Amino acid sequence: MLSKFINLITFRAIAELKSEATRTYAGYLWWILEPLLSLAVYYVAFKYIFHRGTGNFAIFLFSGIVIYRFFAGTVTRSATSISSGHGLMQLVYVHKSIFPLSVVLVNLVKFIVTLLLVIAVVWLSGIAPTWSYISLLFLIFLQILLTAGCSMICAAITPFFPDFQLILGTIMNLLIFLSGVFYEISTLSMKAQYLLRLNPIAAIIEQYRMIILHGAWPDLQFLMPAIFESLILLFIGAFLVNLFNMYFPKLS
């Protein structure tokens, strides 16, 4: 039963990746082009318009964007996944969590590729990888839990309240400013640091950078709230989708 479930998610994700690639001329290249383009936009805005950012600002920004995009992009896409699976769920019984979870898997694959690109760029700029890179696996795992939780919550809300999808866009636009993508959290006042690190994605991004940009081991103390929140969100998400599992097909 579980193996069937995993098979289905995996195959749907592979199918989606292939199918997406056939939609554009550049195909798989877009996995890298998309984050690079958004890097260009933010870089120009912050460096030349606001005159912010010093030193390796481009790499700093790029790492933040790539990590944030995995989270935000997945949650945004997942939000409509159950609604758009409406036709399919009339034809066969599937547990509705496969809709958001296959989006998570699709974006995870793209994320890993772009994260490797980030690491390569960092290396080229003169910061060699260290053993602390092993702890990236833990951070990726934690981010998957967080992303899957938020994705399932949003996917469960949209069928009842489609306007949520539009509100979510705004929330994600706001959240990027509260996630330390453009600035270093440790340079802010103590109170601001404390509050920002309660935001799980902010804490996760900060620790990713600790590893990739400084070659240091992540600081578990700053990750505790994120671990705790991710587990709670995952639980809520799984609970909601499961609760309405048989209800979604009846919404017409």
Residues forming contacts to another protein in the complex (CB under 8 A) are: 4, 7-8, 11-12, 15-16, 18-19, 22-23, 88-94, 159-162, 244, 246-247, 249-252
Shortest separation between residue 161's beta carbon and another protein, angstroms: 7
Shortest separation between residue 186's beta carbon and another protein, angstroms: 43
Going from the C-alpha of 135 to that of each of 21, 72, 151, 204, 235, the distances in angstroms are: 31, 22, 24, 12, 24
Q: Under 8 Å CB-to-CB from 130, ≥6 apart: which residues?
A: 215
Q: Under 8 Å CB-to-CB from 180, ≥6 apart: which residues?
A: 64, 196, 202, 205, 206
Nearer to another protein (CB atom), residue 51 or residue 250: 250
Shortest separation between residue 240's beta carbon and another protein, angstroms: 11
Nearer to another protein (CB atom), residue 189 or residue 252: 252
SS3 for 25-86 is CCHHHHHHHHHHHHHHHHHHHHHHHCCCCCCCHHHHHHHHHHHHHHHHHHHHHHHCHHHHCH
Nearer to another protein (CB atom), residue 37 or residue 246: 246
Shortest separation between residue 243's beta carbon and another protein, angstroms: 9
Nearer to another protein (CB atom), residue 42 or residue 99: 99
Shortest separation between residue 99's beta carbon and another protein, angstroms: 11
Nearer to another protein (CB atom), residue 92 or residue 124: 92
Residue of 159, 166, 172 whose CA lies nearest to 241: 159
